A and B are shown apart, each in its own frame.
Chain A
């Protein structure tokens, strides 16, 4: 480098920073209980509206999964005075948008338009909110198309992974369901939609957010008038069972033969959004896997080249959550990827993050914050979540201070509390026969499923994968059995693979017997032993495990102390 380019050696210092102005939203509650939040933003002649209700897919009765989704989708398919086509034409003739959609915790109706059309789109919003007609033909069409979409989503490996993770992590909690079934869709009748709309689309369960080129007083008056004929009812409470505790590491393999990759998701229990552990967890997540400079990405992609991206995911919803680590990797490195994932998951709990890591993570989180607020949609997204997830009204103002307050000790403490590799669920969508063999060193409890979500017998795939292990246990073993009399008795253990499973026998100077009910579990075996000792038939149990190249175990005889044994393969 020549002298002139000396200045390029180091990253330049930042310029003096300017203050970020976070607008203070205006907030009021209308007589019918509808909360109204307004942010005037006159930079461009645009307005964005969002009407959000505190009920979502989680509130669907189990047998009617999809009820909230269908109800939301059908709002724009006909009202007392407009047909589906009229609604679509009116909205699009203004160049505006009007959509409804549901997530786990809340349902939103969103509209946006040039501000000159602000009042017209608001009137349409009120019509579809208050007077949807759920026409029978539209209900039926939505049912049909939804069922086709259910088929399509099963072709997406990411959907299959998310479905299984949700199922095993949330158990009886409704977050376990991420999708309707054809049966639940068929069970949703028009009368039920009408009734459900009446009971959940209520003003005292909703927040109306407006960001854009509006006059506050005028728009407040407009909303009050349009939504005045709307009465309160008792809202549905979030009364859900707790997600299950987990105490073992279990793998759930979704067998997708011929899959081009393995989609890996490793999950632990997490927290709900308003948990006091949220900010330490957010910092931990940022160091571990939130971005392309986090540990998981740097390891699995930049160093190893296993994947296009490896990330962690902090899933914090209103009533529960999960922590997840994910990557899509080429099939032959599925096992290697698990090794690296578990290395990183252990490390984040075992060692404190470095000073540089925590300060980088804080700088990232506080720096990208204003980028989120550049657009009306960005601002309204933040406000909706504050309102729907129960965050304090000064959340945006305090956000950066709360990030700055987190310490390295707190990060390690939440890592130890929540990142529990030995209790993790490992979900892998991939080619079962190739995946299971690679998985075995990292997990001995393996459940196999089909892409339809049904439990599969671990027939061909698992038997094939178990073969190398069985080969380690089968054969002839020369053992020493320790007796209570202070003397070791030599014995020979023979384990054989048969069509029906495994068989075996024990021969010693004391007597001999056949093994029955042999079960193999990873590196261990168990069996019953019908032992003939000096003419007497004695029932015993035998179990053993492979410790390196040695076999160790015990024989348990009725009314006698356990007899430990150990030995190695007979020459």
Chain B
């Protein structure tokens, strides 16, 4: 990092209402817009067996009307005021957010408070949204190659069903959800004392505080929700499996490791080890496999940021005819090399500059700031981590990276999942091999929601890219306004235009 570099300080005002709602304000008058986000401390990790996918289905219901807001009017109010909005569900939390012209702050607070205090649920709306969610599952999972394998990998890594099952859930469980489930879930989890409200942008601080009190102050506190058990044994659930994928045009494989929770020293070091292995074209695995050996078309990786036991994944798409066990061995060798020699000075410099660059670039948008601040407040009780978490990453030493590679990655305690195209399984290996494989059609896989692949090659799963009620532009940025982004304008129709 350049020595004169200093992360700009973010103004933070923090208070808690009498009903337990945690509120954080961060004023920035540069552009006359305001972002409002509400984070509820409930995600798919809170789901009971037989009700997978429920947190996400419930998120859809939050757009179906409340005492003073008719069904689907939430979209209308926000768009008609010149705003953008969305909501997402992950293993850890459910969030709702909008960015509006600054003078529409009262509208956002009215809408968010009305559904927090008086969500209205009807059987008809539940049935309708159940259908929408099932189409979302078909669109983003069942009709895509590789994606359902990404859900299976978490069932292999994690033993605890709270961690192992997917956020999108199973069709059967979605069918089984009742209106009583919805009402009960609302009472338990959608309470002010189980939520964080963050406002970032152009507002008057006193006025904002007053508005928050007016709209949220009278919503009653509820009993503290039951604790969630996400504990895991150190061992992975199952170290090897294969997945028969009827849509995959070529074989692929996924590797997975169980790693410590976010905000722990080892997790920070593992995240940086991951970057050295698979982030960017100068990364070790890209240079070894895509460039050096020319054995894979693409290699990608991801570190999950969970409050409980977390995961690190690597996805590889080999070239036709390449031997998968050999490629896998090369990946393990690269990990061993990092565990033995540790990172170079150049690599440490790369990590520091990339961390600084990404921290600064992200904070351009009020919505990004509001979302991160809300997360730190909800998970850690400390909104200032938005500025200070960077220090924890920057303090990681080369020795620590070397040590976590030895202790967590260069070990036999990991998962290997082969994705086998169904056509290949039929023509090559015959019935015996096919019988030993996990059948994609018969099995309901689960895991954190993967990102829908944007391009020809799929992307690994991610806890941060999650189910949304409207589509995958999770920042809610609109398309054709006033000029759509270059890819959307220039190459349209490659999918729906999601608001």
Q: Which residues of A contact B (CB under 8 A)?
A: 1, 4-5, 7-20, 43-46, 56, 76, 84-85, 88-89, 91-96, 103-106, 108, 112-114, 116-117, 141, 144-145, 148-159, 161-162, 165-166, 178, 258-261, 265, 267, 273, 282, 285, 290-293, 298, 301-303, 305-317, 322, 324, 326-330, 360, 363-377, 381-382, 384-386, 389, 395-396, 399, 403
Within 8 A of A (CB), among B311-362: 317, 319-320, 346, 349-350, 352-358, 360-361
Determine the chain B residues whose CB is within 8 A of the CB of A141 once the complex forms: 291, 294
Q: Nearest chain A CB to B324's CB is how many angstroms away?
A: 15
In the complex, are the beta carbons of B250 and A85 less than 8 A apart? no
- On whether the beta carbons of A322 and B282 are closer than 8 Å, the reply is no
Residues of chain A contacted by B136 (CB below 8 angstroms): 308
Contact B145 A309 (CB under 8 A): no
Are A291 and B363 within 8 A (Cβ)?
Answer: no
Q: What distance in Å separates the Cβ of B289 from its nearest Cβ neighbour in chain A?
A: 12
**Bound CA span A377–B493, Å:** 23
* A114 and B485 contacting across the interface, CB-CB below 8 Å: no
Q: How far is the CB of A234 from chain B (nearest CB, A)?
A: 24
Q: Across the interface, which residues of B come within 8 angstroms of A1, CB to CB?
A: 67
- List the 6 closest pairs (A to B, CB-CB), nearest first: A367-B82, A95-B353, A103-B490, A305-B131, A95-B357, A12-B106
B434 close to A (CB within 8 Å): no
B489 and A396 form a contact (CB under 8 A): no
Is the CB–CB distance between A152 and B457 below 8 Å?
yes
Contact B356 A114 (CB under 8 A): yes
User: Quick check: B80 and A360 within 8 Å, CB to CB?
Assistant: yes
- How many angstroms between the C-alpha atoms of A367 and B99 in the bound complex? 10
Q: What's the Cα separation between A12 and B128 when bound, in Å?
A: 29
Q: With a 10 A CB-CB cut-off, give which of B102, B495, B498 has the most chain A CB atoms.
A: B495
Do B499 and A363 touch (CB < 8 A)?
A: no
Q: Does B68 contact A (CB under 8 A)?
A: yes
Q: Take A158-B495, A313-B497, A365-B482 as given contacts and tell me if A149 and B457 are in contact as well, using a CB distance cutoff of 8 Å.
A: yes
Q: Which chain A residues lie closer than 8 Å to B132 at the CB level?
A: 301, 305, 307-308
Asked whether A93 and B353 contact (CB < 8 A) given A311-B498, A328-B135, A368-B481, the answer is yes
Q: Select which of B75, B129, B361 is within 8 A of A293 by beta carbon.
A: B75
Contacting pair B497 A311 (CB below 8 A): yes
Residues in A whose Cβ lies below 8 Å from that of B493: 161-162, 165-166, 265, 267, 313, 315, 322, 324, 326
| The one of A144, A260, A309, A366 that contacts B498, using a Cβ cutoff of 8 Å | A309
* A290 with B497, Cβ < 8 A, contacts A14-B106, A151-B250 known: yes
Given contacts A149-B457, A364-B82, contact A95 B354 (CB under 8 A): yes
B379 CB within 8 Å of chain A: no
Is there a chain A Cβ closer than 8 Å to B176's Cβ? no
Interface residues of B in 354-395 (CB under 8 A from A): 354-358, 360-361, 363-366
**B window 282-299: CB within 8 A of A:** 282, 287, 290-291, 294, 297-298
A562 to B365, alpha carbons, bound, how many Å? 74
**Interface contact A18-B32, CB-CB below 8 Å:** yes
Q: Are B360 and A328 in contact (CB under 8 A)?
A: no
Q: Is the CB of B294 within 8 A of A144?
A: yes
Provide a sorted-by-A list of 21 A–B residue pairs whose CB atoms are within 8 angstroms: A8-B68, A8-B113, A17-B101, A18-B202, A45-B8, A46-B364, A92-B280, A95-B350, A95-B355, A141-B294, A150-B456, A151-B249, A158-B495, A261-B138, A291-B499, A305-B132, A308-B140, A314-B480, A327-B496, A368-B82, A385-B483
A328 CA / B428 CA spacing, docked (Å) = 33
Contact of B143 among A20, A106, A261 (CB under 8 A): A261
> B127 within 8 Å of A by Cβ?
yes
Q: Residues 440-467 of chain B: 1 if any A CB is under 8 Å from the residue's CB, otherwise 0? A: 0000000000000101111000000000
List of B residues within 8 angstroms of A367 by Cβ? 81-83, 100-101, 104
Within 8 A of A (CB), among B4-54: 4-5, 8, 30-33
Question: When chains A and B are docked, how far (Å) is the Cα of A210 from the Cα of B184?
Answer: 53
Structural contact, A373 and B291, CB atoms closer than 8 A: no
**Chain B residue contacts of A12, Cβ below 8 A:** 106-107, 110
Verify A162–B250 contact, CB threshold 8 A.
no
Which residues of B111-169 are within 8 A (CB) of A?
Answer: 113-114, 127-136, 138-140, 142-145
Contact between chains at A5 and B364 (CB < 8 Å): no
Task: Evaluate contact between B482 and A396: CB separation under 8 angstroms.
Answer: yes
Interface status of B181 (Cβ within 8 A of chain A):
no
Indicate whether B103 reaches chain A with its CB closer than 8 angstroms.
yes
- CB-based contact A292/B357 at 8 Å: no
Chain B residues near A105 (CB, 8 Å)?
Answer: 490
| Contact with B105, one of A15, A45, A375 (Cβ below 8 angstroms) | A15
Which chain B positions have C-beta within 8 A of A310?
496
Taking CB atoms, residues of chain B closer than 8 Å to A317 are: 489-490
Q: Once bound together, how far apart are the Cα atoms of A526 and B355, in whole Å? A: 73
CB <8 Å contact, B282 and A92: yes
Q: Are A309 and B471 in contact (CB under 8 A)?
A: yes
Which listed residue, B72, B479, B487, B491, touches A178 by the CB 8 Å rule? Answer: B491
Let me know if B249 and A370 touch, CB within 8 A: no
**Quick one: which of B319, B320, B493 has the most chain A CB within 10 A?**
B493
Least CB separation from B77: chain A residue: A11
Chain A residues positioned under 8 Å from B491 (CB to CB): 103-104, 162, 178
- Is B106 in contact with A92, judged by CB distance below 8 angstroms? no
* Given A88-B280, A326-B497, A330-B134, 16 additional A-B pairs, CB 8 A: A13-B106, A44-B8, A103-B487, A149-B456, A153-B455, A260-B138, A290-B499, A291-B75, A292-B470, A305-B127, A305-B132, A308-B133, A309-B498, A368-B83, A371-B33, A371-B83
Cβ-defined contact, A293 with B356, below 8 A: no
Scoring B residues 394 to 425 as 1 if CB is less than 8 Å from chain A, else 0, what string do you get? Answer: 00000000000000000000000000000000
A489 to chain B, nearest CB (A): 56
Q: Give Cα A303 to B32, complex, Å.
A: 35
B492 contacts A374, CB within 8 Å?
no
Complex interface: chain A residues within 8 A of B246 (CB): 258
- Asked if B319 and A14 sit within 8 Å, CB to CB, the answer is no
Say how far B308's CB is from chain A's closest CB, in angstroms. 30
Q: For A259, what are the chain B residues with a Cβ–Cβ distance below 8 Å?
A: 143
Q: Name which residue of chain A comes closest to B131, CB basis.
A: A305
Q: How far is the CA of A162 from the CA of B490 in the complex (A)?
A: 12
Decide yes or no: A112 and B84 within 8 Å by CB, A18-B103, A153-B456 being known contacts. no
Which single residue of chain A is at the shortest CB-CB distance from B497?
Answer: A311
With a cutoff of 8 Å between Cβ atoms, the chain A residues found around residue B458 in the complex are 152
What chain B residues lie within 8 Å of A153 (beta carbons)? Answer: 455-456
Known A-B contacts A95-B350, A108-B486, A308-B136; A116 and B5 likewise in contact (beta carbons under 8 Å): yes
With CB as the reference atom, state the residue of chain B lying closest to A383. Answer: B483
Q: Are B350 and A92 in contact (CB under 8 A)?
A: yes
Q: Which residues of B contact A84 (CB under 8 A)?
A: 281, 291
The answer, yes or no, to whether B307 is at the interface (CB within 8 Å) is no
Given A309-B470, A371-B84, A116 contacting B138 (CB threshold 8 A) = no
- Other-chain residue from B68, B144, B294 in contact with A9 (beta carbon distance below 8 A): B68
Q: How far is the CA of A82 from the CA of B119 in the complex (A)?
A: 61
In the complex formed, the residue of B with least CB distance to A16 is B103
Q: Give chain A residues whose Cβ lies under 8 Å from the Cβ of B250.
A: 148, 151-152
Tell me, in angstroms, the Cα distance from A184 to B31 when the chains sit together. Answer: 47
B8 nearest in chain A by CB position: A44
A85 touches B291 (CB 8 A): yes
Q: A residues within 8 A CB of B485?
A: 381
Q: Would A155 and B470 be within 8 Å (CB), given that A92-B350, A112-B361 are in contact?
A: no
Contacts of A104 in B (CB 8 A): 490-491
B219 to chain A, nearest CB (A): 10
B218 within 8 A of A: yes
Once A92-B281, A144-B294 are accepted as A-B contacts, the answer to whether A373 and B79 lie under 8 Å apart by CB is no
Q: When chains A and B are docked, how far (Å) is the Cα of A546 from the Cα of B177?
A: 47
In the complex where A159-B494, A370-B32 touch, is A88 in contact with B499 (Cβ < 8 A)?
no
Cα(A10)–Cα(B70), bound, Å:
11
How distant is the Cα of A45 from the Cα of B361 in the complex, in angstroms? 9
Contact residues in A for B453 (Cβ distance below 8 Å)? 156
In the complex, the chain A residue whose C-beta lies closest to that of B422 is A258
Q: Which chain B residues border A370 with CB–CB below 8 Å? A: 31-33, 101
